[in-house]
Structure 1
């Protein structure tokens, strides 16, 4: 049985997401077996659009996951992530005051890159530069990119370090929408995508495929549906206990102290495909006007105040 343990602060967003009878009903149905949105809509006697919105709310807080089944077209199957939720309401350890620094980095604002074809940048209304030409990644208009893709290599982002002098970083997390990169799109196309923070390897996630055939919520109408349409929202978190991918601990060797955030003028986030990856399936990275999630690369830095 998978249990999600929450403290008071973590429980707020989860409680907001499940304070709706339709979402609670969806979780109950998914406890029986995985369903697609059509099945959920039929069993709940709700319009498809209403059901899809409620499913996305549950996805956003990681209570359910949506996957595409190879060999079954573009059918998306929803599965619950946890069997129960436990909220700790016991006495809390007295802590120094904390606050968070949040920054949403546009995907075209990378500081360094090394990419191999197939590769390209896509803006809100057209391609940026020449498709499959790595030189396009150095075009002055790259900051307007809403989708970038490459078969091999990496992009690196340097976030402004807004940690107040004298304060201590207690946790840092990043989130981004991404998937594999295949010609046009291919649902069964695994890719080992790795993230590094301040030069330290955090985690490798194997994307199941390159998702297309069904338009993303934000994907512009001019972009054909036989191309990549959307990705999955992934979350990487580093604390004093180690590194977590979508809430699951994946690395104990690197901690928030290992990153030495207070000693650096910027915070580096690098994402790409390692040269020795088993699944060299490329990478698609989505901006706030492409795909399913209205964001670029979001960094959230939790800070313990000195005074």
Structure 2
């Protein structure tokens, strides 16, 4: 899908072009297939000259493209140039020294794990392997998991390290939909879920419960509502000021403590520590389960070394 980013420089003329309802109708028609001006004029019930003027204004801001094609003689045919328009409400000049990369990983693409029952992997249409059997976590089909759960243990993911040489990391963050793991579900079921980045313990978050009884917006119909349905979307962020969970400081671990440049990968581990006060397990959701259409997302902001 071709996207048109709007910045402060091109926003005004494009918005002016889109402010006319007839021109929006033209874009709708062209999104179905290319048309010449005569065809557009007939469908809009407008004079040829008026239609041509609207087409010309859309051409000037690059929303459509018009080409000469052979037909009954040579005719001009217009086609839509973009499928989506995205507005960037920030000044690009202020971002020139900062770079950013985002990588999403399926929840079944963990490289290492150690789990105890209750545990299991769930795909979009059925269980993967056998419920409450830790051996199922090594099934080759685990990459298709949309929900994984365990009462005790951990899963570890390794993201590719794509930080360019000669650059330094300012901030790294991970986000995932997660909650506690209780038999069936239990809203009041605290669990201390700890994260590690590059084998360094970063922070512990206490999940308040295991959420069910009301179907998650993405949870498939075959999954019973008396089981876990959705989690909470959490973000773990580390920069030079410390580690933050949902923008609240959670520990004094800083970006320098992670030694990102010393590893060929970026490891992210979630689990329950052996000495956790609340050992309430963990559910981890993929893009087709729960309320958020994502797996585990890593975002890194970096800049050129001064």
Q: Indicate whether the TM-score tops 0.5.
A: yes
- Show the 5 A alignment for 1:1-307: 97-252=97-252, 254-306=253-305
Question: 3-state DSSP class of the match of 1:262?
Answer: helix
- Using the TM superposition, give the Cα deviation of residue 306 of structure 1 relative to its aligned residue in structure 2, in angstroms: 4.5
Contact 1:96 1:304 in 2 (8 A): no
- The CA distance in 1 between the partners of 2:209 and 2:173, in whole Å, is 24
Q: Which runs of 5+ in 1 are unaligned?
A: 1-88
Deviations 1:252-293 (A, max 9, x none): 1x2111111111100000000001111110000000110000
TM-score by length of 2: 0.68
How far apart in 1 are the matches of 2:300 and 2:95?
A: 17
**Post-superposition offset of 1:202:** 1.0
Provide structure 2 residue ranges, at least 5 long, that are not aligned to the other structure. Answer: 1-89
Within 2, Cα distance between the matches of 1:229 and 1:193?
Answer: 18
After TM superposition, which residue ranges in structure 1, 4 or more long, deviate above 4 angstroms? none
**What's the offset of the Cα at 1:96?**
6.5
Secondary structure of the structure 1 residue equivalent to 2:113? strand
Partner of 1:194: helix, strand, or coil? Answer: strand
Question: Shift in Å at residue 305 of structure 1?
Answer: 2.8
SS in structure 1 of the partner of residue 294 of structure 2: coil
1:143-166 deviations in Å (ceiling 9; x for gaps):
000000000000000001010111
Q: Aligned equivalents of 1:190 and 1:138: distance in 2?
A: 28
**Offset from partner CA, 1:175-233 (integer Å, 9 cap, x none):** 00000000000111110000010111111111111000000010000101000000000
Report if the CA contact (8 A) 1:122-1:148 is conserved.
Answer: yes
Q: How big is each residue's C-alpha offset from its partner over 1:100-124, in whole Å with a ceiling of 9 and x where there is no partner? A: 1101110000000000000000000
- C-alpha distance in 2, partners of 1:120/1:236? 25
Q: TM-score, normalised by structure 1?
A: 0.68
RMSD: 1.5
